[in-house]
Structures are given as C-alpha cells and as structure tokens.
C-alpha cells in the first residue's frame, strides 16, 4: 500500500499544522465569551443606564449600627447584543472594586467619580455585578446588582 508510505518530514509537518489549528480554535472559542467590551465609534448611539452606590444604615436597640452598601438600581435589563454604557456614580463608600461574573469586566467605582462600563452581551442570562469589598451581609453588603440579558 504505497499511499501509506509517508516521509518523516511530512508527518512532522502534519502534526505541526494540526496542533496549530487545534490551538487556534481553542483560543478562538475560549475568546468568544458571552460578553464583549465594545469600542465606541464616533456618533454611534449607545443607550445609557445610570446607577449609583448607596448605603443603608440602621441603629439596633443596643446602640450597635449595621449597614449595607448597594448598587442602585439593583436590577438592569439589556437586550442580547445591545450596546449599553453603564454609568455608575460613586456616592456612598470610598471605593467599590467590582467584577461582572462570567466576564472579564472589572474595575473600581470611587466616591464622587463616574465610572463608565461599556456592556454588550452575546448570551442571554443573568449576570451579577458584585462589589468585592461588600459581597454579602457579613461584609456590609450584599452589594450585588443583577444584569438581565434577554
Ligand atoms: Cu462596595
């Protein structure tokens, strides 16, 4: 069966080409995440959603104070594929380092600063915007907002 006779060089070349294709597709599919941070083109209409950082405080009968930081509003809605600039105005709390779960979006919202987070989701679902300093009630939270993509 002469067609099975392959030169060692062509086998090596085949293996190299094959592994390049495999790693390229692995890279491509791992990159095609559910979210893309878009680059804004000039004159392009991008919807804005506004949010602030807020704080709830209460005094207990024993004089002890409890507090919870919040994103307000706590739920926002986006269409799948829609471009939105999420503008977060830092009011309460000095700094809120945040992530959006399921994406590589992260940053810090600071007091008296407006943080603009460009959003565009290719997959439907509910994504959580979480403050890493105040993620739950034991850490003056839960400072979690829900991004509903539909
Ligand atoms: Cu926070």
From first to last of the 150 residues of the chain, give the pLDDT tens digit.
556 666 777 767 777 777 777 777 666 555 555 566 777 677 778 999 999 999 999 999 999 999 999 999 999 999 999 999 999 999 999 999 999 999 999 999 999 999 999 999 999 999 999 999 999 999 999 999 999 999
Distances (CA, A) of 44 to 36, 40, 72, 83, 117: 17, 7, 27, 10, 16
**What pLDDT sits at residue 7?**
72
The alpha carbons of the chain give a radius of gyration, in whole angstroms, of 24
CA of 111 to the centre of ligand 1 (A): 11
CATH of domain 47-149: 2.60.40.420
Domain ranges of the chain: 2-31, 47-149
**Assigned token pair, 29:** 């599919």
User: Taking ligand 1, which is a single-atom ion, which protein residues have CB atoms under 5 Å away?
Assistant: 69, 96, 131, 133-134, 143
CB neighbours of 106 closer than 8 A, spacing ≥ 6?
A: 97, 98, 99, 100
CA of 137 to the centre of ligand 1 (A): 11
Q: What is the pTM of this model?
A: 0.75
CA of 138 to the centre of ligand 1 (A): 12
Residue 58: HSE in the Cβ half-sphere, 13 Å Cα cutoff: 5
Q: How many residues are recorded in the chain?
A: 150
Residue 72 contacts residue 144 (beta carbons within 8 Å): no
């Amino acid at each position: 069966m002469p067609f099975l006779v392959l030169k060692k060089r062509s086998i090596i070349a085949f293996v190299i080409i094959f592994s390049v294709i495999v790693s390229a597709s692995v890279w491509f599919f791992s990159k095609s995440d559910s979210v893309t941070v878009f680059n804004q083109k000039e004159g392009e209409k991008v919807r804005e959603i506004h949010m602030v950082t807020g704080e709830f405080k209460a005094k207990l009968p024993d004089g002890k104070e409890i507090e919870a930081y919040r994103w307000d509003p706590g739920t926002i809605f986006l269409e799948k594929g829609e471009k939105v600039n999420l503008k977060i105005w830092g009011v309460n709390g000095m700094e809120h380092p945040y992530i959006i779960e399921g994406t590589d979006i992260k940053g810090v919202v600071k007091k008296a600063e407006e943080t603009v987070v460009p959003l565009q989701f290719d997959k439907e679902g509910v994504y959580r915007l979480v403050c890493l300093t105040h993620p739950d009630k034991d850490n003056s939270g839960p400072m979690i907002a829900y991004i509903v993509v539909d």
